[in-house]
Each structure stands twice: as structure tokens, then as C-alpha cells.
Amino acid sequence: MQRVSQEKDLGVTFDERLTFEQHILEKVKKEIQTMGLIRKSFSYLDIQSFRWLFKAMVRPHLEYAQSVWSPFRKKEIVTIEMVQRRATKMLPGLKELSYKESLKILDIPTLVNRRIRGDMIEMYKILNGRYDQDAEMQLPVNNNITRGHQKKLFKQHSKTKIRQSQFRLCVAETWNSLPEYVVKAPSIKSFERRLDKFWTDQAIRLVTNNNHLHSGKT
């Protein structure tokens, strides 16, 4: 069998060290090009048009299968966020504002926060049997909980950064912090609504620091 340094499977480029650096660079390059096409195609963009175009044409490509390749190194986190940061500068009146101020005006979260939200949705699906049970990830649920909701996960630790970035390890703290009424939502859509309502006006919507990627703190 021939040894290769990277391989693409289902649209995700895997490298031999599982950093997903090449995958991220490919996605960022493509979506910068997409933003360039949008800029050339529209002589004027208002906030509503920008939100619609960015959400429909750019953001989905930056989030596809993100639970698999979600970055754990600061340079990749910054590189991905740079796409949205640069995109906000396309709008008149936002060029001189800080990224945080621009996001408040546009009422959109950072891409970091979007990935955290995506992780929570995936966790809900897994723990509620929304995938094929023969193929889904087995997660260690702590059945000895006396406080909080009844689907809390055991917190596992690892000495290596790559293992720390694995889905089952990096999402536990945020998932365990959710209130019971969010976790017990009867459907995926209901879970999304309850999660968004719980996080409304909370610091997690403006997280940009790698050190607090999954803590929800600023």
C-alpha cells in the first residue's frame, strides 16, 4: 500500500498529523475568492444583502463537516476567522470599526462560536440516537450526576493537543454547562432555538480567543 501525506475523503482533506491545515487553507482560499466575486457582482451591499449572501454562499463551505476538522491551533483559528473579518469590511460604515463592533451591528457570531454551536447540535443528535447506532460515536455519559442535567459527559483529559481537540473531549465542558430545558428539547429545531435563546447576550457569542474556544468565556 502506497503511503501518502494527505488524502481527501467526503470533501475533507486529512493529513498524516491530523492538523487539517491543508483542508483549512483550501477552504479559506476558495471562500476568499467567493467574496471577491460577490464584491465584483454587487456595486452596493447593505446589511441585509450581506447577511444573506455570506450565510448562503460562504459560511456553509467553512462549516461543512467542521466537527471532524475543527482547528485546535491558534493560527488555523485565526486564518478561518479572517474570512469573515475581511468580509465585514466590504460594507460601507464598517471599515473603520473593530471586528467586535461590526459583528454586533450585523448581529452575527464569530465563526468560532458557530463551530461551538455546531458541536452542541451534533452532541444532541448523537445522544438522542439520530444517527445509525452501529456507526455513531460512543460517548461516556456520567450517570452519577446530582446537579444539572442527566446527560452530562465524563470529562476526559489528554496530554497531547491533537487528542484534546477530538470531538468527544473538547465538547464535554460546554455541553455539561447547558441547562436541562435545552438538553431535553424534543427535536433538533427545538434544541437549536432553546440553545440560541440561552446564549442570547452571553459572552460566548463574541469568543475570538483560542484559549477559551470551548469555555464560553471572554
pLDDT at 212 (0 to 100): 38
**H or E element that contains 180:** helix 180-183
Q: Is 93 left (phi over 0), alpha (psi -120 to 50) or beta?
A: left
Domain boundaries defined on the chain: 6-108, 114-212
DSSP 58-108: IHHHHHTTHHHH---SHHHHHHHHHHHHHHHTTSTTTTTS-HHHHHHHHT-
pLDDT at 162 (0 to 100): 58
pLDDT at 210 (0 to 100): 40
pLDDT at 12 (0 to 100): 92
Angle of helix 74-88 relative to helix 21-41, nearest 10 degrees, comes to 0
Residue type, 130: R
pLDDT at 160 (0 to 100): 58
State the pTM of this model: 0.79
pLDDT at 114 (0 to 100): 93
Tens place of pLDDT per residue across the chain (218 aa): 788 888 898 899 998 888 899 999 999 999 999 999 999 998 888 999 999 999 999 999 999 999 889 888 889 999 999 999 999 999 988 988 999 999 999 999 999 999 999 999 999 998 887 776 665 556 666 556 656 677 787 666 656 555 555 666 778 888 888 999 999 999 999 999 999 999 885 656 555 444 333 333 33
